[in-house]
Structure 1
Amino acid sequence: MSPQPGFPATGPLAGVRILDLSSVVMGPYATQVLGDLGADVVKVESPAGDNLRAVGPMRNPGMGHLHLHLNRNKRSIALDLKTPEGREACLRLAEGCDALLYNIRPQAMARLGLSYEAVAARNPRIVYLGAYGFSEQGPYAGRPAYDDLIQGQTGIAALYAQQSGDVPRYAPLTLADRAVGLHAAIALVSAVLHARASGRGQQVEIPMFEGMAHMTLGDHLGGATFDPPLGPVGYARLLAPHRRPYATADGYLCLLIYNDKHWHNFFALIGRPELADDPRFRGHGARAAHIGEVYAFVADVVRQRATDDWLADLARADIPAARLHAIEDLLDDEHLAATGFIREQDHPTEGRLRTPAPLGRYAGTPTAIRRPAPALGQHSRELLAEAGYDDAAIDALFARGAARSTDSPEPTGKPDGL
């Protein structure tokens, strides 16, 4: 990822500066998205670094694969916020920022001397956004919150069991972290727009539990939408046991026969046009009421032919279908290759890397990967200088251990969060 001289600002958020005190996935993903859109993201880490730096594979210590993706387009400053000097440096950085994002409890921020009141006293226009497990207004406030726990507490693991009849399981993604991270990114931009229009910042809370409950209940509130309920919770189509890639004679096929036209074309394709008048298939409501039988029928039909044969005939019949991809198939996907989605770039210390491109196209404000993911404290000196410290003051912060740069001594102890 060859550095550009001066790393010129590009993207629709150019000119927005964010102080990122978050760690692991949810907060860093939110600020990665915002950084891809052009924001100047200043990642504040403890002298030991973000935990995620230690998650391999990696070529060099502290530069794990997830860190390389989640923290591109950011600058890193390492501060010991438990020291008065480190806290003061953080507050001075906040004076020049549009927003501060953190993901520990508000009480912990207050103990560090970085409460909303303390930060707003230095910058009344700042958006102070906390993205953490549970709203401070409820009895779960302060409980530990990790992706697996939130998936379990919001019904996702149980939905897998309900659909398959198997044991509960977690989605093999950091689903809660990334979904709620997007909520946090949207909330931050919205609040910054308000602050710029009104001249007033504000405190914002984005909790993981409520964020994922919003997602699961949006699909599965079902009959409980109504008072009194009109039936059980759950969206029957999503819970049907055969709602999964269909086995073919030689592999798997992703297929969704959805509207009346699709069904009529499918029945003609398989030589059973009379099924269009079957009460189970006659209209969307009837199919929804018999969704288990409908998916089971399709599963029985699809397994009789090879995947390529199905794909060719379904395309001619204008029925949505796709080949089942494994993760490694995405690296060679012809569409992603044509759109330049997988970027191959050179990192100054980590060598040749692959990474997904910033999402979307902006004709007037194009996005870019302006900066590679930083080493711990790589930009400490330049950021402290931007905050008004002279060289002697910066050297004193390093000497006292209140700040760390890439050329200062390694801290003792294990990596941890803020």
Structure 2
Amino acid sequence: MAGPLDGIRVLDFSRVLAGPWCAMILGDLGAEVIKVESPEGDDVRHFGPPFEAGESAYFQVTNRNKQSIVIDLKTEQGRAIARDLALKSDIVVENLRRGAMEKYGLGYEQLRADNPGLIYCAVSGYGRTGPAAERAGYDFLIQAESGLMSLIGGADQPPMKVGAAVTDMVAGQDAVAGVLAALFHRERTGKGQHVDIALLDSAVALLANQGAAYLMTGDRPQRLGNDHPSVCPYRPFDTADHPLALAIGADRQFRKLAAALGHPDMADDPRFATNRSRAENRVALYEIMEAAFLTKGRDDWLVDLHAAGLPAGAIRTVDEVLEAPEVHARDMVVEVDHATIGRERIIGSPLKLSETPVSVRSAPPTLGQQTAEVLKDVLGWDGAEADAYAARVRP
């Protein structure tokens, strides 16, 4: 079954994570994605350990459903090939430093004259406009400068980063949203447009309720560890063996929780009857709850809490998650055939569409794996000429 973007071609000049994340999702949705790489390859091909058969695990997570072509943009021929591909593409994704694509003759204004329907998505640390536009930006830096790190960790600990590159990934997802909106606009008008995505913008949007609280009160949000500034109880609790995570977001849920803990009277206690009162009296509430949770083990508590329809769960490790039946049941771990690794497991797509389902059609490519194929199929090169070029640029 064809995906919703079947027939759309994406030319992906981006490297590392945010831009490639965007292009990969478009590929999952059925687009043809051609990944342009230098002779040295995407930087993340060299991020590791771990490696398997010379391939980086980091590269595997963000480059499924793509073809790799090696193009040296420092050469006249390379720039000409890249331009020819861009003029035959619907979408360009790039995350080079500002001005780099223009230097190569591949900027938006340079391409749209001959491809007016082109959607050109630029992903960068600080955006293509503004006083920081010239600066380089990586996820860790953006977590620091966006304020996210100031919210993570205990009150007596230094700021901490999230353990995954969250600002890269959310910027990549924002880029997908922008590209899809631009495609819809093109359907109605025939016109392409420029999509400008900044990691910092995406990270600032992630401040959400914490940012809204500051804008309302002028008070700087504080680190609370695993507690929540506005919702209570919303944190881990130790049990007789392993801790569990509990997320009670409504008063009706708290009434059920009180009964499950053997303290139904808590639901009518004026200190705890509403979320606001619970947040204001959390120390007293936690004393009661912590003592109750220590009376049984985690799994027994989860049986009771789930039976009551309450949001609670184990605090799992990555290996536990990726082997969990509910994760496999929704195809979040899939198997593909890789050119050098062989059969490998990779993370799947979280998008589930009933009429136009996403698909994982190919493993992440080796460097330049489809160079000759792209030149022949997309640009119409003679087979011998394409093979000779591919052999010449092969690392």
Report the CA distance between 1:59 and its aligned residue.
2.3
Q: CA separation in 2, counterparts of 1:233 and 1:168? A: 13
Deviation for aligned residue 1:363:
2.8
Deviation of 1:139 (Å)? 1.4
After TM superposition, give the deviation of residue 288 of structure 1 in Å. Answer: 3.4
RMSD: 2.4
Q: For 1:326 and 1:305, locate their aligned partners in 2 and report how far apart those are by CA, in whole Å.
A: 22
Q: Is the 8 A contact 2:155 2:223 kept in 1?
A: no
* Correspondence for 1:185 among 130, 154, 176: 176
The amino acid across from 1:181 in the alignment is G
The one of 36, 53, 57 aligned to 2:50: 57
Q: Is the 8 A contact 2:139 2:167 kept in 1?
A: yes
Could you say if the C-alpha distance between residues 183 and 294 of structure 1 is closer, same or farther in structure 2, counting changes exceeding 3 Å? farther
**Alignment counterpart, residue 91 of structure 2, candidates 65, 84, 99:** 99
* Alignment-derived partner of residue 349 in structure 1: 340
Count, aligned residues: 390
Contact 2:234-2:246 at 8 Å conserved across structures = no
SS class of match (1:203):
strand
Question: Deviations 1:185-223 (Å, cap 9, x if unpaired)?
Answer: 11111112212321111111101111101111x221244
Shift of 1:373: 1.1
Find the residue that maps to 1:221 and give its secondary structure: helix
1:71 to 63, 67, 85: 63
1:64-143 correspondence to structure 2 within 5 Å: 64-143=56-135
In the alignment, structure 1 residue 252 sits paired with structure 2 residue 247: no
Matched AA of 1:12:
P
Match of 2:215 in 1: 225
Q: Distance in 1 between matches of 2:15 and 2:287?
A: 45
2:33 and 2:65 in contact (8 A); partners too: yes
1:18 paired residue among 10, 17, 21: 10
Deviation at 1:247, TM superposition (A): 1.4
- Which residue of 15, 31, 38 maps to 1:39? 31
Cα deviation for residue 88 of structure 1 reads 0.8
User: Residues 392 and 264 from structure 1, CA distance in 2 versus in 1: closer, same or farther, beyond 3 angstroms?
Assistant: closer
Aligned pair in 2 of structure 1 residues 170, 242: CA closer, same or farther (>3 Å)? Answer: farther
Contact 2:240–2:295 (Cα < 8 Å) also in 1: yes
Cα displacement (A) at 1:174: 0.8
* Shift in alpha-carbon separation, 1:291–1:81, aligned structure 2, 3 A: farther
Equivalent residue, structure 2, for 1:238: 228
Q: Which residue number corresponds to residue 305 of structure 1? A: 296
Call closer, same or farther: CA 1:395–1:306 in 2, change over 3 Å.
Answer: closer
Alignment check: 8 A CA contact 1:222 1:235 kept: no
TM-score if structure 2 supplies the norm length? 0.91
8 Å Cα contact 1:91-1:122 kept in structure 2: no
Shift of 1:320: 1.9
Quote the Cα distance in structure 1 between the aligned partners of 2:303 and 2:214: 42
Which piece of structure 1 moves more, 325-334 or 292-301?
292-301
How far off its partner does 1:313 sit? 2.0
Give the aligned residue type for 1:114.
Answer: L
* Matched residue type, 2:211: L
Whether the 8 Å CA contact 1:150–1:208 is kept in 2: the answer is yes
- Structure 2 residues not aligned, in runs of 5+: none
